[in-house]
Amino acid sequence: MLLLGWLSTAVVSYGQNVQAIQALVDRRVPFLHKKVIIHAIGPTPGDTASYFTRNQRLYINASSTISATYALGDYLRTYCGISLSHTGDQSAPPSSLPATNGVIPVSAQHTYRYALNYCTYNYTMSFWGWKEWEHELDWMAFNGVNLMLAPMGTEEIWQHVLQDIGYSDEDIRKYIPGPAFNAWWLMGNIQGWGGPVSDAMIHRWTLLQQQLLERMHELGIQPVIQGFCGMVPSTIKKYFPHAAVVDQGNWGEGLIRPVFLLPGDTLFPRIAALYYHYMDQSYGDRTLYGDVKFLGGDLFHEGGATGGIDLPSTAALIQTNMQQYHPGSTWVLQAWQDNPKKDFLKGLDKQHTLILDLRGDADNNWERTGGYSGYPWLWCSMVNGGGTVGMEGRLLRILLEPGRAKATTAGSSMKGVGIVPEGIANNDIMYASLLRSAWAKEPPAIDSFLKKYIISRYGKYDADIYEAWQLLLQSAYISHTNELTDAYESIFCARPDTNFITSVSTWGSKKLPYDPAIFSRAADRFVRAAGRFTSSETYRYDLVDIVRQVIALKARLLYAGIMKAWIAHDLPSFKIAGQQFISLLKLQDRWTATNSAFRLDTWLEQARGMLPDDKDKDLAEWNAKAQITYWGPDSNPASLVHDYANKEWSGLLNDFYLPRWLLFFDYAEKRLKGETVAWPDFFSLEKAWARRHGMPAAMNGSRKPGEDCIKILPEIISNIK
């Protein structure tokens, strides 16, 4: 046996990094310092571990670092009521080490447990520093993630590549996006939007990536690093007039996409050689970062044009190029809309390809495609479209479908599961359930699953919370059949219109997939427990989230009354309903102010804290504001992505959404009085708000920022009954 904390060496046999596990313990659960004993077991087909307690010590037998950290996390969640999450940590230590009363086995049922979407890097992580990333990786380790998207730092690689092929500094900066829009650049949707960025900002991403990769290597999490698949600046012909490219058009109705450089062109291998040279220069130290085994990058994403090219040979050439620089690596592709195209797959080597079925929780694309024609694939769950604030997710599908998929013929090439949220700062249960079920031999019974989740989430079991979660499973987390995966958005966040608004954003859910009365009952039961969980960070977050959704659902009813009065030309009723709507919006602003996760200033302070230079601060702040409002571009008020990342946040409600609604009500009342009045210029208001620097005036308004949610709960409830 080896006692964690008494070791001088970093690595024991079979790949455990004991020092990394020790550091994880000391960071997150210091009460276990020198109380965890790790024993290395021989090589196994997958990640396997077991644990037990004896004499106030925890013993873990594990085949790998990640299986040891998962076992540690399982013990903490199950026996200690301790867990990390993106929405608060439950970390109060027990008075003594709880006994397991036997050996508890844990074994991964899937080769890969994957995490993150390109969009997550912006809708949640745009302005993260090492503190947030360190917490994220610790959370991944406790939940057994062993494969994670890690494309940061690609900006500096491209800066060097373009410099070497003769690009001007101005054209380079027109290609690299701003800090809130990197994801869509990496996916080939946009270029330059949100910039131009400084050298300091570009280098910051590289330094963060180096820290990430080093810690991931220590914890046994493989990174998916961005590879080169042929997307280049649309200005490429300015420098290479004869380059063979396929124009990819616009994205989002107004944003210019990069172009696709055909791999048969002589410029392709030249750029590829430079790209991988600079990538290896930054991340090639195998001692620190390990081998590059997975490369990301997609073509023809969300409407990209194939231009009549030979898809199989194109795919083969790109993958051969990847193998030249990183032999044995796997190309990780996103299955989204009609990609990867069937003919494209024909050119790929199955041994070096992995497909992410992003919509596993929403449809059965893996089944319709016969398991992607036998190519290795992962069953993934994508929630939180745009990182919007909304409780949603098909929880039973998360728990049951991966097992069903694995047992089918199409599942013979299934290699694992993945969480691919567009934003990861809410709906914790969706990530916890999928990742933990990946270690369960049988789908868990829902009752036992919820009880275990409650203990890990709030520190102890509570009957009222259990009943609330049973009702949430029948409402917010019902496995509905709506095609779209996004939450049913808050009407407060919609750009007003004289036509009845069904969804706030283009792809938002257009109908509520559950009975709001059931959700209201869930909220009532959850609220009953408030006095017993005053010191619980996670309970407070969920309380604010649940009551926020009750308020948002009531606002939909008021909105229906407003539109009924508008259609009937009933000015008195319109005014009364409008006043009630505005009062409720202000109440929501006050309520969400009680938790920093629901406050605009939290997001803006992250943005302005990225770098010390005022110019960088201002650019980051504008990126932060533009992303959550009109998104882009500046030239199109009807852009498909406007309000896509809407946020029901305090400060944003009062400073941005309220003025839009007040303009609408003023316009509508004048129209109902028979006056001739111009339609409000919402787009100009939105752009001006995003460009204005400094915290919104509303953050220093008459309401009391930082009020205690439990203390004001009775008043809030009385106002929404």
The model's pLDDT over 354-413, given as tens digits with 9 standing for 90+, comes to 999 999 998 889 999 999 999 999 999 999 999 999 999 999 999 999 999 999 999 999
- Contact (Cβ atoms closer than 8 angstroms) between residue 486 and residue 548: no
Q: Is 611 left (phi over 0), alpha (psi -120 to 50) or beta?
A: beta
Domains of the chain in sequence order: 2-107 (3.30.379.10), 112-451 (3.20.20.80), 473-720 (1.20.120.670)
pLDDT confidence band for 701 (50 / 70 / 90): very low
Other Cβ atoms closer than 10 A to 80? 22
The mean per-residue pLDDT over the stretch 584-598 comes to: 97
The mean per-residue pLDDT over the stretch 263-282 comes to: 97
Other Cβ atoms closer than 10 A to 150? 23
The mean per-residue pLDDT over the stretch 110-136 comes to: 98
Query: Residue 1: is its pLDDT beyond 80?
Result: no
Please state which of the ranges 104-113, 441-450, 460-469 shows the lowest mean pLDDT: 441-450
pLDDT 10s digits, 201-229: 999 999 999 999 999 999 999 999 999 99
pLDDT the model gives residue 289: 85
- Contact (Cβ atoms closer than 8 angstroms) between residue 216 and residue 222: yes
pLDDT confidence band for 8 (50 / 70 / 90): very low
> 532: which residues sit within 8 A by CB, 6+ positions away?
462
In 190-317, which ranges are E strands? 222-226, 231-232, 245-246, 250-251, 255-256, 259-261, 294-296
pLDDT the model gives residue 484: 65
pLDDT the model gives residue 10: 32
pLDDT confidence band for 9 (50 / 70 / 90): very low
pLDDT confidence band for 13 (50 / 70 / 90): very low
Q: Is 438 left (phi over 0), alpha (psi -120 to 50) or beta?
A: alpha
Query: Residue 524: is its pLDDT beyond 60?
Result: yes
113 pairs with which residues across the strands? 417
Other Cβ atoms closer than 10 A to 568? 11
pLDDT the model gives residue 16: 65
pLDDT the model gives residue 301: 87
> 396: which residues sit within 8 A by CB, 6+ positions away?
446, 473, 479
In 3D, which of 329, 713, 643, 694 has the Cα closest to residue 497?
A: 643
- Contact (Cβ atoms closer than 8 angstroms) between residue 216 and residue 148: yes
In 3D, which of 375, 384, 279 has the Cα closest to residue 335?
A: 375
pLDDT confidence band for 286 (50 / 70 / 90): confident
In 151-291, which ranges are E strands? 222-226, 231-232, 245-246, 250-251, 255-256, 259-261
The mean per-residue pLDDT over the stretch 74-90 comes to: 97
Spatial separation of the C-alpha atoms in residues 209 and 154, rounded to whole Å: 9
Burial class (CB in 10 A: 0-12, 13-18, 19+), 242: exposed
Task: Report the relative pairing of strands 294-296 and 330-335 from DSSP bridges.
Answer: parallel
In 3D, which of 52, 60, 69 has the Cα closest to residue 104?
A: 52
Spatial separation of the C-alpha atoms in residues 58 and 53, rounded to whole Å: 5
Angle at CA of residue 12, ends 78 and 40, nearest 5°? 45
- Report the run of H or E that residue 415 belongs to, with start and end: strand 414-419
Spatial separation of the C-alpha atoms in residues 391 and 399, rounded to whole Å: 17
Spatial separation of the C-alpha atoms in residues 203 and 211, rounded to whole Å: 13
206 pairs with which residues across the strands? none
Which residue has 């991964």 as its token pair?
A: 108
pLDDT the model gives residue 705: 60
Query: Residue 7: is its pLDDT beyond 60?
Result: no
My answer on whether omega of the bond before 633 falls inside 30° of 0, hence cis, is yes
